[in-house]
Amino acid sequence: MSQKEYHVDKNEYIPFPVKILEKKIESGDTFTLRLDWQIEHDPGQFIQISIPGIGEAPISISSYSDKFLDITIRKVGNVTNNLFKLKKGDEVLVRGPYGKGYPMNDLKGNSIIFIGGGCGVAPLKGAIEYVEKNRNDFKDAYLFLGYRSPGDILFEENHKGWEENFDVNMSVDTVPTKTCYSGNVGFITNAITESKIDNKEKVVFMCGPPIMINKTVDILKNKGFNDDQIFVSEEKLMYCAFGLCCHCMDKGNLTCLDGPVFRYDNIVKSKNNKNSC
């Protein structure tokens, strides 16, 4: 029985085993696991991945393929550090996918602006690959990608293809001494401010640190963008993934059900809601 058949036949909330097809080191603290899991999903959704006896963690999907599923993981705790110890051929337990992703079908005919900061580029990568595979459904595509340093840059093997298909702007905050790097230096928000992008038939997909998101929203509004043109991928503690534990409640929204991708006007509307469950 294939993994896809197994998932269709079983309860989507019960973890089941899949094999690791590949493991790739992206940076000093970030790595990608390619899983032997063929499942329909929307860019921006997430899965739950676990190791028996260790624990479970929610991880955004960082690919768009019917042959495999990629998850890009930053080592920040016990589960993710133990996931890093795994290798090709090992098995992990998975369940999902969960949440709301980017509404790609509803946005056809628009230009897409991707804005990612640090590990926030990973949840955007599936949407970027979707646009690559459905290039005629969208107009122009722009990538604004910011990292702390050259050593933190993710998905370098994809950059050549992205530069052929999109208008790519990438920069790093700082460059350590004795580092071979010839690219742009400075906050990615500076590049967005200086860009000529306007709000005509465009939507923005954004993921990154809250301070970057808040500043970027202000920049976009100064350029004429409306709240309903901006989509933000948020990260919260999503323990159960189906709305029971309420750990991911934020401003009246359950991130695991109502997100993790939110249209920005929905975030604004919920600011006055109480965090109750």
Cis? peptide before 123, omega within 30° of 0: no
**The residue type at 7:** H
pLDDT digits (tens, 9 = 90+) for 221-274: 999 999 999 999 987 778 898 888 888 888 788 899 999 999 999 887 665 555
Q: State both tokens at 149.
A: 């340093």
pLDDT digits (tens, 9 = 90+) for 128-147: 999 999 999 999 999 999 99
pLDDT at 159: 92
Top-level CATH class of 3-98?
Answer: mainly beta
Residue 32 banded pLDDT, cuts 50, 70, 90:
very high
Domain boundaries, given as residue ranges, for the chain: 3-98, 104-233
Q: Which residues pair with 263 in a beta bridge?
A: 231
pLDDT at 35: 98
Identical fold at 3-98 and 104-233?
Answer: no
Residue 62 banded pLDDT, cuts 50, 70, 90:
very high
Query: How many Cβ atoms sit within 10 Å of the Cβ of residue 191?
Result: 17
**The residue type at 253:** N
168: Cβ contacts below 8 Å, ≥ 6 apart: 142, 143, 145, 159, 162
CATH assignment of 104-233, among 3.40.50.80, 3.30.1330.200, 3.30.70.1890, 2.30.30.100: 3.40.50.80
**The residue type at 13:** Y
pTM of the shown model: 0.91
130: Cβ contacts below 8 Å, ≥ 6 apart: 43, 64, 102, 104
Q: State both tokens at 221.
A: 């509004």
Cis? peptide before 150, omega within 30° of 0: no
Go through 140-171 and write b for each residue having 16 or more CB atoms within 10 A of its CB, e for each that does not: ebbbbbbbebbebbbbeeeeeebeeebebbbb
Q: Considering the chain, what percentage of its residues have pLDDT values greater than 70?
A: 93
pLDDT digits (tens, 9 = 90+) for 146-176: 999 999 999 999 999 999 989 999 999 999 8
**Beta carbons of 216 and 207 less than 8 angstroms apart:** no
**CA angle centred on 18, ends 16 and 19, rounded to 5°:** 155
How many helices and strands (H and E) does the chain possess?
Answer: 8, 15
pLDDT greater at residue 198 or residue 182? 198
Give the side-chain half-sphere CA count within 13 A for 38. 7
**Beta carbons of 32 and 71 less than 8 angstroms apart:** yes
